[in-house]
Amino acid sequence: MTAARPLARPLAETTAPITLRPHQPGDIGWIISRHGALYAAEWGWDITFEALVAEIGAQFIREFRPGLECCLIAERAGQRLGCVAVVRVAADTAKLRLLLVEPAARGLRLGQRLVAAAEDFARAAGYTQMTLWTQSCLLAARRIYAGRGWVLGESEAVRAFGVDLVSEVWAKPL
């Protein structure tokens, strides 16, 4: 039996700034792996969540439209600390997807920075509104969305990823 990888990796000892960069080969695989591991450890979600993230990641890679979509990776000194994606839903609508901040980087306002960068990208790409799908238990993410003017539109009790959840759809005009 192999030892489990630690979920909260310590931040590199550096004063280097956290930068946001476009995705590169290997980043989508990292996003899938970290979502699966973190959501299982922190929320008890089963492997079907990782499968969903893998499907989202594969579709993003296959259908990627530069200038209309992006995936941003937050990193410091080469260490990935978080991510967010923007995907096209319609000519006027983009969807925020795959927001994640590593546990060791939480409290640095990185989630807010990633969401702001996604909104800025969507606005510059010509979208007039954004949507996102989340779960009510993800309180830190919900605080970011509400604080940036997103509005909860729909919610529904569901059984997903092996647990009972309340699924939510949020929207924001740009």
Instruction: Convert the pLDDT of each residue in 126-144 to its tens digit.
Output: 999 999 999 999 999 999 9
Distances in whole angstroms, Cα of residue 100 to Cα of each of 1, 25, 67, 72, 92: 29, 18, 22, 11, 25
CATH number of 19-129: 3.40.630.30
The pLDDT score that the predictor gives to residue 5 is 45
CA pair distance 104, 114, nearest whole angstrom: 16
Question: What does DSSP assign to residue 105?
Answer: G
For residue 18 the two structure tokens come to 């956290």
Summarize pLDDT for 12-36 with one digit per residue, the tens: 555 789 999 999 999 999 999 999 9
Its pTM surpasses 0.75: yes
Inform me whether the pLDDT recorded for 145 exceeds 80.
yes
The angle, 0 to 180 degrees and rounded to 10, between the axes of the packed helices 27-43 and 47-63 is: 160
The pLDDT score that the predictor gives to residue 75 is 97
The angle, 0 to 180 degrees and rounded to 10, between the axes of the packed helices 110-124 and 139-147 is: 50
Higher-pLDDT residue of 143, 7? 143
- Residue 160 phi/psi, 5° resolution? -145, 150
Name residue, tokens 């590169």.
24
CA pair distance 102, 163, nearest whole angstrom: 22
